[in-house]
Structure 1
């Protein structure tokens, strides 16, 4: 025989059912919230990972481009060095490869090498040890000019006429230009030493040539 349900027990059961329903709804809401948070975190992690992959790909491409540029410039600088060394440079071989543990920014290091090669390629001043050779160039130039002047004067005396008037004048001009003639061999000396024929070396040549010209004119009959 079924027991009758009292009003008080029915109310308690309804209240309990409502509490359970509310608790289940809260747990369901919490579960949905947690699920949404996890999905959002996963999507953010995927987006961050994709961004890192793209950034790594860009960095890799830039690094490869820099490597190719550095290799090309290093090869060009090495070839320039070999050309500067001449016969010795042909035995140097290919450019060296990367050194393990090397530090420094490659573009900065290459710029320093370019600057060093540029400064090494610029002609310098002639050393003082070549001063006697420069003076000899001046003396030789004056002697050559004097010899040409003497030949021209002799030709004027020999053929007479207008030549007897014009050639002595020409001979005098040639003799007076004698100190300048010495600058020609002096320039050859400077070029072979990869140096500049500056004011000091030129002055030595001109003074020696002028002194020789004056001496020759003084001793001339």
Structure 2
């Protein structure tokens, strides 16, 4: 038979059991709190990762859109360059450089401005002034020759032609300075330049002086 346990020993065991139960409850509460903290931190990490993923997806979408715009602009600029230079053998536009960095939009804007400046016609250089004067002289001489032929035709056939042809010859002769503008314009087009005020003045003055000299010497 079991011997009865003393009351003081029983009380000590009860106190011991109560202490252990309290310690277990405290440890369980601490573990639960740690678990809740870890779950909250994990949820925050998941939310941050989801936000970063959305931002990355938006950046990828924006990058693709920018890439499409850049490719389209590059193709347009390349085609314009080929048309202006007349170089049909340039082939396809070059691809992006591997070490390229920065925003491509300012670079494309710079290329556009360069093409615009290239496409603009400049003034004819002063070295072509003799050629411009020669154009004026040639136009005046050609117009005077046509006028002389018209006068000769009127004298030859007489009648109404004898009256009308000299008038027509005078009009054609007076247009001699203007006739030199046609070859001068072709000269400017070949040099991809403008026929500005200075070249116009040179052609007209040379043609006018030539016309006056021809009229004076023909009397």
Fold equivalence (TM over 0.5): yes
Cα distance in structure 1, aligned partners of 2:111 and 2:122: 19
Alignment of 1:75-90 (within 5 A): 75-86=75-86, 89-90=87-88
Whether 1:44 and 2:17 are equivalent positions in the alignment is no
Question: Match for residue 67 of structure 1?
Answer: 67
Question: Match for residue 168 of structure 1?
Answer: 166
Cα distance in structure 1, aligned partners of 2:138 and 2:173: 12
More off after superposition, 204-213 vs 153-162: 153-162
Cα distance in structure 2, aligned partners of 1:104 and 1:3: 88
Tell me how far 1:15 sits from its aligned partner.
5.5
Cα distance in structure 2, aligned partners of 1:157 and 1:82: 57
May I ask how many residue pairs the two structures share in their alignment? 217
Question: Match for residue 120 of structure 2?
Answer: 122
| Cα deviation code 1:97-122 (max 9, x no counterpart) | 33232334212111111111111111
Question: Match for residue 113 of structure 1?
Answer: 111
Cα distance in structure 2, aligned partners of 1:83 and 1:181: 31
Cα distance in structure 2, aligned partners of 1:3 and 1:84: 114
Cα distance in structure 2, aligned partners of 1:13 and 1:2: 14
Unaligned segments of structure 1, at least 5 residues = none
Question: Match for residue 4 of structure 2?
Answer: 2
Whether 1:185 and 2:187 are equivalent positions in the alignment is no
Whether 1:154 and 2:156 are equivalent positions in the alignment is no
Cα distance in structure 1, aligned partners of 2:112 and 2:63: 22
Secondary structure, in 3 states, of the residue corresponding to 2:144?
helix
Structure 1 runs, 4 residues or longer, greater than 6 Å off:
none
Secondary structure, in 3 states, of the residue corresponding to 1:154?
helix
